[in-house]
Structures are given as C-alpha cells and as structure tokens.
Structure 1
Amino acid sequence: MKARSAISRLENFQRTVQIRRRAFDVPGVAVELSLSPDVLLGLIQDDLSPYKVRDTLYTSYFAENFTVEKRAAKKLPRMSMDSLTFNPWTGERFLIDTGYIAASGFDQSVLEVRDPTPFGRDKVKKDTLKFGSLTEAHIDGNWRQ
C-alpha cells in the first residue's frame, strides 16, 4: 500500500514538473500524458507532490501574507513593517546585530536584538532585554514572566 502511494506521488510530481517546464501548456501536456485537460488540472489543483514550487518573481511574500486584510482574517494584531525596529513604548530603535559563527564546521547566521532602555527607563540597573546571541547559535531571551 505504501509503495503504491509513493509511486503515485512520484508520478504526480513528474507530471507537475513536466507541466511547469512547458510553461503551463495544459492541453499540450495533457496529450503527452494521455490525460484529459480536466484530469490534468485536477492533479495540479490537488498538488499531491511532496515538493512545493512557489513563484515569487512577480509577487511579494509580504503582499500575500501580511496585508491588513490577511492579518484581520487570521485575527492577528495590526502591525507596520516600517516600525518593527522601534520599541512601541519609548520609540527608540532596537539595537540589532547580525553575524556568522562557525558551528559544527558550518557558518551559522546569528542574531542579537537588544532594547537599550528596558521598561522605558534610561538608568535601570539591570541588563537590557534581549534575545539571540552573537557568540552562540540560539534565539533564547533573558526576560522572565
């Protein structure tokens, strides 16, 4: 049963690749695969292949997923990408550093984001709130509940 499913998925994937190579010439590809155009479109719409190919050349990921309407439909709070680097309470810019470290023989991207004025006060005797590290590959934070 599993072998049939794997073969079916592979066949669907190969058909999808052929279609994409032919620039979506559905009738022509349907003739090549001995399928009707409706059956072929059904296979494309079901997208049973394990690999997903997404064209972002002419569309923006932000425009598709972060518009006001999309965020409202998902019941997510409003946000502005332009103000993402600023502390919403103090208006100060977060200190954002990036870099690379060698981890297990590979270069690993690292990120550290710090708030220069935690809790909205300048001279707090505590460390700044932060997440990430420039010396280790993790995005843990130092805040507590």
Structure 2
Amino acid sequence: MTSLPWRAAGWWLALLAVGLGATALRFGLIESSAIGQLCGSGHGPAWCTLRTWLVLGFLHHVYGSLALVALLPAWLLRRPSLAWLAAALGVFAMQLYGAEAGALALLLGSLRLLRLQADARAPRTPHRPGEQQVQHQP
C-alpha cells in the first residue's frame, strides 16, 4: 500500500513533463523568429516539416479537439491512463494556442484522475456507513 502515493504522484509528474515539453516546443521551435526564418526560406532542415505540422495543428484547432475527444473515454471508463491522457492533451493544447478547449480537457481530465486515485485509496468495506444489516426479530 505504500507504493500507491508514489504511483499517484507519478501521473502528476508525467503531466508536468508534458507541460514542460509542450512549452519547449512552443518557445523553442514555433515562436523562435530565427527558426521561423530558417524554415520559411524553403531550404531549411528536415525537422522544419515537424514545425509546419505543429503550426497547422494549432491553426486548425486540432489539439483542443483531440483533447476534448479524449475526455469521452476518460469519463466512461475507469482507467487512470485515459484520464491522464485527456489532461495531458489539454496541457498540450493550452500551450499550443488552444486555451479554451485545452483548459476544459485539463480540468475535467484532472478531476477524473483525482477521483480514480481517491477511489483506489478508499478502504474496501462491504457496507457503507449508515447502511445497517436488518434483523427480522431482536
């Protein structure tokens, strides 16, 4: 039972890593004017294609839409990995200019992940408090 808090923290640390990676992509690859000029010249390196696809993705709101689509299985199925995926896509979308849809996916994915983690930590009892066994006669 002692590994459960560390496992729960792992989900949140991985979410932080996704946010830092998306931030590095945004400020290092997309918003850099030097890289923009290099890739815009038509004679840039092969990774300029990745930059072009990233830019097209946020121009067409792909990341926010993917994050919202990922919410459906996250809320229907009881899997922490799906809730984390929705939250991670939300973080990625927020960093790449899809703030509204990304924020909603991050919020709802995080809430679902928190609920699943709380349910995993709750003690398993056959009866809830207040639910009593009824005897026919005293």
Normalised by the size of structure 2, how large is the TM-score? 0.23
- Which structure has more strand as a fraction of its residues? 1
Of structures 1 and 2, the one with the larger relative CO (CA 8 A, separation 6+) is 2
- Which structure has more helix as a fraction of its residues? 2
